[in-house]
Amino acid sequence: MLAGGEPMLRKDVIEAAGSIRNIIFPIFTNGTFFTEKCRAIFDKCRNLIPVLSIEGGQEATDTRRGKGMYGRLLQLMDDFAARGQIYGASVTVTRENYKEVTSDEFLETLAARGCKLVIYVEFVPMNENEEQLAPGTEERDFISARVNDVRSCRDDIILLCFPGDELELGGCMAGGREFFHINSHGGAEPCPFSPFSDINVRDTSLREALSSPLFRALRTEGLLEGEHEGGCVLYAKRHEVMALVNGNN
């Protein structure tokens, strides 16, 4: 997947991804730079799947994304549907919006406009001052129950939870266990929410990056496996991760 910042600012990267037809690329976008030229690329390269960032209804979306963005996103959805473009929505889930974004009303608004995929991304704080926004155990349990209910009764829309679905997959998938993140400078990081790196893909191959000292340590030290409450394991264990980074350096 390609995410940002805003990946639509790099049309060269989007075009390069579109040329690799045997790989599907979800592209997370806020919609502000989705020009007619961008539409032409997506019309031509159907392996590119736009995923629109939306926070719930108009008030929640415009508060976080900017005034008028909710209407802009709905217009894009209608345009995608008219063009036969498969698209999805990415929702940052917080303690403030978790009930709204998992409600039947919200999901029906998306499904009625042709949305085929909703990715719930738990808000992960970058410091202790933001922790009150992150979903806790009660909120995660509610989200999990609602998502399972929707999955059991709807087949017109796919719901994914990150990192919540990892709870049933044996632990955190980051650090090369199932995926990793490449930042804008080429640094290979365990995941977007764990911005630590000890190797750069500009200087090495992807295969070598997967065997970086940090990634190997994360997998062998057991930080990615075992008990999992559904939230971001690497954020909860950020001090241990930093110790590994410092030790490898």
Which DSSP string do the residues of 35-93 spell out, in sequence order? Answer: -HHHHHHHHH-TTEEEEEE--SSHHHHHHHH-TTHHHHHHHHHHHHHHHT---EEEEEE
Beta-bridge partner residues of 51: 28, 88
Tell the CATH topology of 7-162.
pyruvate-formate lyase- activating enzyme (3.80.30)
Low-confidence ranges of the chain (pLDDT < 70): 164, 167-170, 226-231, 248-249
- 170 contacts 128 by C-beta, under 8 angstroms: no
User: What pLDDT score was predicted for residue 113?
Assistant: 94
> 38: buried, middle or exposed (CB in 10 Å: 19+, 13-18, 0-12)?
middle
**How far apart (Å, rounded) are the C-alpha atoms in residues 103 and 100?**
5
- 1 contacts 88 by C-beta, under 8 angstroms: no
> What's the pTM?
0.85
Instruction: Name the percent of the chain in helix, strand, coil, to the closest 5.
Output: 45, 15, 40
Dump pLDDT digits (tens) for 128-149.
777 888 888 899 889 989 999 9
User: What pLDDT score was predicted for residue 54?
Assistant: 93
**Residue that has been written with the tokens 């409600």 in this structure:** 103
Residues forming CATH 3.80.30.10 domain(s) in the chain:
7-162
User: What pLDDT score was predicted for residue 229?
Assistant: 57
User: What pLDDT score was predicted for residue 37?
Assistant: 87
Q: What is the DSSP letter of 23?
A: S
**How far apart (Å, rounded) are the C-alpha atoms in residues 171 and 163?**
10
- 231 contacts 140 by C-beta, under 8 angstroms: yes
